[in-house]
Structure 1
């Protein structure tokens, strides 16, 4: 009887698989283009279509909301840039690498290993042309003027202990960047706009050799009342370093916009394309162009967001004019929540604008405002216009979503923390994620499972447990209430399993890079000592 059941099940599985195969292989099926626009440090309260009280106006992003689906509970895997972007590209938590905390800078080594599959690589293998225009922030391997062994920092195994800017040979190509990780074309910056070197790269080489020095900018020690009070100065943060003679930070958003529009306008291949556009706004330095100054009611930060919205409008218009909008999936999201430097907490009262809306926390924290982001998807004729989805999703889901979209078989040990949201986009509910893990700048952990979220901190009184459904603003901490001890054990067990199994998807147990238990897993160390 068992044998017959197995035969029937196997036949059913084969037929279902064949039907799936036919969807993408049948005559007349056209794979959609994908345009993925990633804002840099943007809160859910910074979009007028998501926040009625916003002091900014974002008509182009609002149009995507009206024409598509907005996710009300979308999260990054980390509340800071590098680890969040790593998950988007690879479908894997970044702490599975040796980078357990913090971010990379403009001279850091490549974070993505050669053996790691990525969403753009997957799409390349399935007939897509792939391009990236904007900010990378995942490191690459510079070539040096002389061969030498350089020591790395203790806190960051991808960052050099000393300033290597004078050792780098800027005339030579680099490796481990976008074109080695699945992009046919790349134009943009290595890291954030406040990190040197300040110069554009194209594919795997700098466009211009940096021969000048960017003057540092930021908070002034001579500010009346002290450096801490120079809030506007903090918005203009730039670190001193090498720059190209013609590089202007104020022009970067325009340059990214024009390059993106040109890519779409000049696209001539019959193959579909994946265009990844990680923008530099509204991350520091907050530099809106002159034509946007004073256009919002939230100071230069709001003005910068309105320039960002203009960029979105230019990209969508280019798709329309090329006749590509109907068969293009347009995704708009952000790498983490709003920054306290870009828009200081003190400015919330001054401008009556809250980047995190009703949520607690900002960028770099484990609170909801640090990793909850806008996630808006327009896909004409597939997604029902002006719909909302309340499912708790992750930006790390791109890899699995692309795989299902093109009906691609993938190595089960790649994209190990990624789940497809394709069914959600089509109005169904076959999303399989059971829990999500978030980290902050310090590499501390948080887990979300169903309505419950737990943040772990070794400092007394700094751990949290919230029922997000009942308390989305995280005002009632239940962690130290003994009546919730079973819930804490349940969440801790789920978190431990995700970490120690080397994956959150089903499959063989894998090893994370680096030590099995590292400093930030303080609760596991205590358990081990007992």
Structure 2
């Protein structure tokens, strides 16, 4: 049924702005603000034209948010890859405090958020909000699996299975541990990234259609002239082979998520405020812009996909306006990490004259600034002065504490243990408590930022880094091996060790992380290794 709906939505792709609903939500005056949280997937800070004057992609709708709101110029994810970053958004906790010490989940992974873990949507739900999520989850859920006890887990990623378990999954049965068990009244979307099977939409705790077909694998071709590694275009279309629903088409996903998000806002009729979380699938691989966006940028199909993402942002913001909700709605636009080398290869930076990380070093999956520095734009018409900027170093993990501050809830001190409220910053004040931020990469390695200083740690000789980010934002001058900065390294090492070993970065009693107290990525804490 949903595939017919997709077709219909796609045919009216450009008509949505003309369909205006004039009714307003009753009881808006004096209400807690609605919250619309839009999360791009693998978007570089240099992809947004309002943040990078040299961008080869026009993003007029995101740029309008910039003009109408507040831009945080030093916003970071907690990880440079998606699963751990999204975990922090939901829970206000670093993902490496769980069993996930490295890498990401797939479409058959177990639920990562424990049942007793509080989340931002749970917090808002118990404070009178209706909560909805439309988009990509990528935090695992518990499928009904035949003979699960006989299946081996991946030692690298304990939430994953070591083998393909798709033939063991009972697709017809409801799953647990997903969005509706983590605080959302309603969910529509995908389990994982759009290049992971199963390729099928879910609603609440069930699949909409059981996958009965197989998606063929796509990606770099072994017979490509010049060798597989040179097939950059093939790499942009990456999709792993696996189960898919009949008529599931990857190009229809962004239009469907857009239409569903707009529909939710237009049809919302409760007097209660709402929290709408919209984690989109663009511009992550497969890079598949809709036909009407082909050629809309000067950065190839990647730029065109970002243009489609920008269009989606415009549709969502317009829906808020049409309902008369704009004055009492916080709209946040950000991304889960920096741009991917697969989506936009490094070789294309010269070809198109476009740099997704702009002046920053590194991309997705790295510890360099370009891996975890993201756009973070907030429009809140009643509160935020338009076209303003704030250079405070904030984290996407701050959503939990900010929501608690917004509803004036005193939360359990052992929940959201790495989250700090940015509400005062939104109101033009500077009362922000974070003293240091920790970042991780795909391999599970660590980086810490405190003040102007950032240190990346790597067991391999010559591959640790120390930078003064204020003086050297592009991370060109590595001071790690300069003895004159031993005191800085020691200060940062102590701050990092305290955050890791105390089980929290907020004030409170010491807690235990899951798994081993010291795991392999904490090489400097092992007795046989010297501390940095």
SS class of match (1:433): coil
SS class of match (2:448): strand
Offset at residue 498 of structure 1 (A): 0.1
TM-score (norm 1): 0.94
- Provide the rounded CA distance (Å) in 1 between the counterparts of 2:162 and 2:85: 24
- RMSD between aligned residues: 1.1
Offset at residue 144 of structure 1 (A): 1.9
| Matching residue of 2:60 | 59
Offset at residue 146 of structure 1 (A): 4.6
| Matching residue of 2:314 | 313
Is 1:94 matched up with 2:95? yes
Offset at residue 185 of structure 1 (A): 0.2
- Provide the rounded CA distance (Å) in 2 between the counterparts of 1:377 and 1:85: 18
- Provide the rounded CA distance (Å) in 2 between the counterparts of 1:253 and 1:273: 22
| Matching residue of 1:7 | none
Offset at residue 149 of structure 1 (A): 3.2
- Provide the rounded CA distance (Å) in 1 between the counterparts of 2:204 and 2:69: 33
Is 1:359 matched up with 2:378? no
| Matching residue of 1:399 | 400
Which runs of at least 4 in structure 1 moved beyond 4 Å after TM superposition? 527-530
- Provide the rounded CA distance (Å) in 2 between the counterparts of 1:148 and 1:365: 35
SS class of match (1:166): helix
Offset at residue 527 of structure 1 (A): 6.3
- Provide the rounded CA distance (Å) in 2 between the counterparts of 1:528 and 1:403: 41
Is 1:520 matched up with 2:521? yes
| Matching residue of 1:270 | 271
The structure-2 alpha-carbon separation of the partners of 1:529 and 1:482, relative to structure 1 and needing over 3 Å to count, comes to closer
- Provide the rounded CA distance (Å) in 2 between the counterparts of 1:444 and 1:140: 26
| Matching residue of 1:417 | 418
Is 1:430 matched up with 2:431? yes
Offset at residue 470 of structure 1 (A): 0.1
User: For 1:19-418, what aligned pairs fall within 5 Å after superposition?
Assistant: 29-146=30-147, 148-418=149-419
| Matching residue of 1:453 | 454
Task: Deviation per CA, 1:316-368: give whole Å up to 9, x if none.
Answer: 01011111111000000000000000000000000000000000000000000
Task: Deviation per CA, 1:99-143: give whole Å up to 9, x if none.
Answer: 000000000000000010000000001000000000000000000
| Matching residue of 2:8 | none
SS class of match (1:57): coil
| Matching residue of 2:494 | 493
Offset at residue 274 of structure 1 (A): 0.1
SS class of match (2:334): strand
| Matching residue of 1:509 | 510
The structure-2 alpha-carbon separation of the partners of 1:272 and 1:215, relative to structure 1 and needing over 3 Å to count, comes to same
Offset at residue 246 of structure 1 (A): 1.6
- Provide the rounded CA distance (Å) in 2 between the counterparts of 1:147 and 1:477: 48
List alignment gaps of at least 5 residues for structure 2: 1-27
- Provide the rounded CA distance (Å) in 2 between the counterparts of 1:215 and 1:511: 43
| Matching residue of 1:10 | none
- Provide the rounded CA distance (Å) in 1 between the counterparts of 2:55 and 2:529: 48
Task: State whether residues 93 and 417 of structure 2, in contact with CA within 8 Å, keep that contact through their aligned partners in structure 1.
Answer: yes
SS class of match (1:56): coil
SS class of match (2:89): helix
- Provide the rounded CA distance (Å) in 2 between the counterparts of 1:397 and 1:435: 13
| Matching residue of 1:8 | none
Task: State whether residues 523 and 529 of structure 2, in contact with CA within 8 Å, keep that contact through their aligned partners in structure 1.
Answer: no
Offset at residue 145 of structure 1 (A): 3.7
Offset at residue 151 of structure 1 (A): 1.4
| Matching residue of 2:470 | 469
- Provide the rounded CA distance (Å) in 2 between the counterparts of 1:215 and 1:147: 26
Offset at residue 193 of structure 1 (A): 0.2
TM-score (norm 2): 0.94
Offset at residue 526 of structure 1 (A): 3.6
Offset at residue 29 of structure 1 (A): 2.8
List alignment gaps of at least 5 residues for structure 1: 1-26
The structure-2 alpha-carbon separation of the partners of 1:28 and 1:292, relative to structure 1 and needing over 3 Å to count, comes to closer
